[in-house]
């Protein structure tokens, strides 16, 4: 006879799967959107968002000014926002 | 009060990091009075929050996907043409990350290698770096002249142009057959053209690039464009290009000078560049985003007085209506204005455009 724990697991499992599918879908969409950014925009966004480098570290890493890192990041996020418009809530 | 465009870089920074006191004050003061930037900040923050931070690890064989991606990168991609070496390499790493989901360790520029290791280099990333050593080698990053180009790029970034040119010239003299010699010559030409703006010397440098490194020249659209522009400017001792520089530096005040330039060089490349600049000048810096091209051109048209300049704006407006708005009726109207003029260069161009549009 299934225990209460099994019953909870059975209820939770489909929800977890849905979330995973949704996360994968978002991830896929983000990757496609990133491809459409310019090389400098995607580089700055990836280094800041995924690698977690500070803006000053990115500037140091890329040999450019913090100001230009900020501008590339602004343009990257703005384009991503437009590309991923339909993923945003109502 | 600061204009929207001036605080926008702060919006992106504010999403990720606490701003310094001065920047924080500037941003707060601005968005307090600007609903548009407030909304932009909120929507950008919402977008960033929706993007997952973890990247998916790829378990399969990386080599085929990497090769395919490298094959699709333009031989002389924008990154290689205009970005300093570290950015170009980081862009390559970013491209690889997008394909395979495993970030490639970014090879550091020699000068910055000691200063800051990339945080959190994982074992997977290290594996990817080793597996793809062959690909990095194929890009000839290790050749003596390629190293000199990297060094020159760092110097260009610091505006040490004379030193950058010395490094490039010494390397190419010592290794004339190096695979990166064409790239070095392209950098020399670029320094003369876009940084020092010595057009006569830039002309010589692009002629040398074209004659001695035809492959580099042919695969660099930017070099071809600049060469054509310089050939066009040569009979006038490049004066139209200097006039364009001065007008550009004058910002909104330079509009009349740009109009005169367009009027004096109908159908020429320099007129086209001047018209680009006029579009930029009329684009309201406080507006949300950029104006659509047709709106910029209509604003330029409204401010122009010279009939030859007006005809060229109309030609471009016709192209924009036709190609971007798919509105042949308005395109025809714009072209007709020019076709009915008796200008020897512009009227035939408008007639050709009308013929391309077909019958109404």
How far is the alpha carbon of B316 from chain A, nearest alpha carbon, in Å?
A: 26
Cβ-based burial of B250 (10 A; exposed 0-12, middle 13-18, buried ≥19):
middle
pLDDT at B323 over 60: yes
pLDDT for the residue B72: 41
Assigned token pair, B242: 């200097």
Over 50: is that where the pLDDT of A31 sits?
Answer: yes
pLDDT at A39 (0 to 100): 72
Selected residues 142-161 of chain B with any CB under 8 Å from a CB in chain A: 153-154, 157
Q: Decide if B114 touches A, using CB distance below 8 A.
A: no
User: What is the number of residues in chain B?
Assistant: 360
User: pLDDT confidence of B359, banded at 50, 70, 90?
Assistant: low
Here the tokens at position B273 are: 């560049």
Full DSSP string of B148-170 = HHHHHHHHHHTT-HHHHHHHHHH
Would you place residue B50 in the very low, low, confident or very high pLDDT band (cuts 50, 70, 90)? confident
Q: Is the dihedral of CA B6, A66, B186, B75 positive or negative?
A: negative
B82 in contact with chain A, both atoms CB, cutoff 8 A: no
Q: Which of A30, A38, A77 to mutate to test the interface with B (most CBs of B within 10 A)?
A: A77
Query: Which whole-number Å values give the CA distances from B24 to A47, B20, B42, B49, B322, in the listed order?
Result: 23, 6, 16, 21, 45
Q: Which one of B65, B90, B103, B157 would you mutate to disrupt binding with A, by most A Cβ within 10 Å of its Cβ? A: B90
Out of B12, B52, B83, name the one closest to residue A70 (CB): B12
Contact B52 A46 (CB under 8 A): no
Residue of A nearest to B79 (CA): A39
Contact list, B43 vs chain A (CB under 8 Å): 81, 88
* C-alpha distance from B8 to closest chain A C-alpha (Å): 7
Cross-chain Cβ contact A71/B9 below 8 Å: yes
CA dist B108 and B118 (Å) reads: 9
CA distance A50 to B98: 12
B226 or B136: which leads in pLDDT: B226
Is pLDDT at B346 greater than 50 in this prediction?
yes
- A58: nearest CA in chain B? B118
Q: Is the pLDDT of residue B78 over 60?
A: no
Provide the 3-class DSSP secondary structure of residue B145. Answer: helix
Q: Could you tell me if B206 and B190 are in contact, meaning their C-beta atoms sit under 8 angstroms apart?
A: no
E strand residue ranges, B165-274: none
- Asked if B47 and A35 come within 8 Å (Cβ–Cβ), the reply is no
Asked if the model's pLDDT at residue B275 lies above 90, the reply is yes
pLDDT at position B289: 59
Strand ranges, E, within B238-351: none
Confidence label for B290 from pLDDT (cuts 50, 70 and 90): low
Query: What is the pLDDT averaged over residues B74-98?
Result: 42
Tell me what pLDDT residue B273 has.
93
pLDDT at A79 over 90: no
* pLDDT above 70 (res B201): yes
Min mean pLDDT across B36-45, B47-56, B110-119, B220-229 is at B110-119
**Whole-prediction pTM:** 0.49
Residue reference for tokens 């002389």:
B76
Judge whether B69 and B77 are in contact, CB under 8 Å: no
With a CB cutoff of 8 Å and minimum separation 6, the contacts of B167 are B148, B151, B152, B155
pLDDT band at B338 (very low <50, low <70, confident <90, very high): very high
- 3-state SS, residue B88: helix
- Best B51, B81, B95, B100 member to test A by mutation, with max A CBs in 10 Å, is B51
Cβ proximity of B139 and B85 under 8 Å:
no
> H or E segment at B35?
helix B35-50
Contacting residues of A for B154, CB less than 8 Å apart: 63
Q: Check CB contact of B84 with chain A, cutoff 8 Å.
A: yes
Is B233 exposed, middle or buried, given 0-12, 13-18 or 19+ CB atoms closer than 10 A?
Answer: buried
Cβ contacts of A60 on chain B, cutoff 8 Å: 112, 115-116
Handedness of CA B153, B154, B157, B160 (dihedral sign): negative
Angle between helices B161-174 and B181-190 (to 10 degrees): 150
- Distance, CA of A30 to CA of B348 (rounded, Å): 47
| A64-73, B31-40, B92-101, B215-224: least confident range | B92-101
Report pLDDT for B73. 40
Q: How far apart are CA B195 and CA B58, in angstroms?
A: 43
B94 vs A46, A81, A87: nearest CB: A46
Residues in contact with B296: Cβ distance below 8 Å, sequence separation at least 6, in sequence order: B279, B280, B282, B283, B290
A81-90, B34-43, B64-73, B124-133: the lowest-pLDDT one: B124-133
Per-residue confidence band for B278, with pLDDT thresholds at 50, 70 and 90 = very high
| 8-47 in chain B: CB under 8 A from chain A | 8-13, 15-17, 40, 43-44, 46-47
The answer to whether the CB atoms of B116 and A84 lie below 8 A apart is: no
CA–CA separation, B30 and B183 (whole Å): 44
* pLDDT of amino acid A23: 67
- What is the residue whose two structure tokens read 């407006």? B317
pLDDT band, very low/low/confident/very high, at B308 (cuts 50, 70, 90): very high
B161 to B152, B165, B189: CA distances (angstroms): 8, 6, 12
pLDDT for A3 equals 45
**What is the pLDDT at residue A18?**
63
- What ipTM goes with this model? 0.75
CB distance A55–B17 less than 8 Å? yes
Write down the pLDDT at residue B358: 77
Query: Six-digit token pair at B34?
Result: 């600007």
Chain B residues touching A33 at Cβ < 8 A: none
Mean pLDDT of chain A: 72
- Region B313-326 average pLDDT: 89
Please list, in sequence order, all residues whose beta carbon lies within 8 angstroms of the beta carbon of residue B274, skipping any fewer than 6 positions away. Answer: B244, B247, B258, B259, B261, B262, B265
Considering only residues B107 and B318, tell me which one the structure prediction assigns the higher pLDDT.
B318
C-alpha–C-alpha distance, residues B136 and B148, integer Å: 17
Would you state the pLDDT for residue B135?
A: 31
Chain B residues in contact with A23 by the CB 8 A cut-off are 52
* Mutation choice for B interface testing from A23, A62, A81 by most B CBs within 10 A: A62
List CB contacts (< 8 A) between B89 and chain A: none
Mean pLDDT throughout A26-35? Answer: 77
Cβ atoms of B261 and B270 closer than 8 Å: yes
Residue with tokens 């080793």: B130
Q: Say yes or no to pLDDT of A2 above 60.
A: no
């Amino acid at each position: 006879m299934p225990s209460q724990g099994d019953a909870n697991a059975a209820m939770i499992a489909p929800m977890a799967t849905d979330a995973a599918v949704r996360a994968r879908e978002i991830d896929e969409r983000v990757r496609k959107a990133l491809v459409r950014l310019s090389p400098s925009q995607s580089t700055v966004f990836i280094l800041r968002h995924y690698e977690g480098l500070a803006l000053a570290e990115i500037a140091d890493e890329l040999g450019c000014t913090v100001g230009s890192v900020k501008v590339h990041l602004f343009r990257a996020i703005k384009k991503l926002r437009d590309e991923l418009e339909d993923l945003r809530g109502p | 009060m600061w204009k929207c465009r001036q605080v926008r870089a702060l919006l992106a920074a504010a999403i990720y990091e606490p701003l310094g006191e001065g920047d924080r004050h500037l941003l707060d003061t601005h968005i307090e009075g600007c609903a548009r930037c407030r909304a932009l900040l909120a929507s950008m923050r919402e977008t960033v929050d929706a993007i997952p931070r973890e990247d998916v690890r790829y378990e399969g064989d990386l080599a085929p996907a990497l090769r395919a991606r490298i094959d699709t990168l333009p031989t002389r991609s924008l990154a290689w043409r205009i970005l300093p070496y570290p950015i170009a390499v980081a862009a390559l790493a970013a491209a690889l990350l997008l394909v395979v989901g495993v970030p490639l360790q970014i090879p550091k520029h020699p000068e910055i290698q000691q200063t800051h290791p990339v945080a959190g280099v994982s074992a997977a990333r290290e594996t990817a770096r080793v597996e793809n050593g062959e690909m990095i080698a194929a890009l000839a990053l290790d050749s003596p002249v390629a190293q000199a180009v990297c060094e020159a790029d760092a110097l260009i970034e610091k505006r040490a142009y004379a030193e950058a040119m010395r490094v490039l010239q010494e390397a190419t003299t010592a290794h004339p057959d190096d695979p990166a010699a064409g790239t070095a010559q392209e950098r020399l030409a670029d320094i003369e053209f876009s940084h020092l703006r010595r057009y006569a010397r830039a002309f010589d440098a692009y002629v040398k690039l074209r004659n001695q490194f035809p492959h580099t020249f042919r695969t660099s659209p930017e070099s071809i464009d600049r060469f054509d522009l310089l050939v066009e400017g040569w009979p006038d001792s490049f004066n139209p290009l200097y006039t364009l520089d001065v007008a550009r530096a004058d910002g909104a005040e330079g509009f009349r000078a740009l109009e005169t330039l367009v009027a004096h060089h109908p159908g020429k490349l320099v007129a086209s560049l001047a018209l680009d600049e006029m579009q930029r000048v009329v684009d309201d810096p406080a507006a949300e985003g950029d104006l659509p091209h047709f709106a910029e051109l209509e604003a330029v048209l409204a401010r122009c007085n010279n009939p030859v300049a007006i005809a060229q704006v109309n030609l471009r407006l016709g192209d924009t209506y036709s190609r971007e708005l798919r509105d042949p009726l308005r395109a025809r109207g714009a072209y007709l204005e020019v076709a009915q003029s008796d200008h020897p260069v512009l009227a035939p161009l408008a007639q050709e455009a009308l013929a391309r549009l077909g019958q109404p």
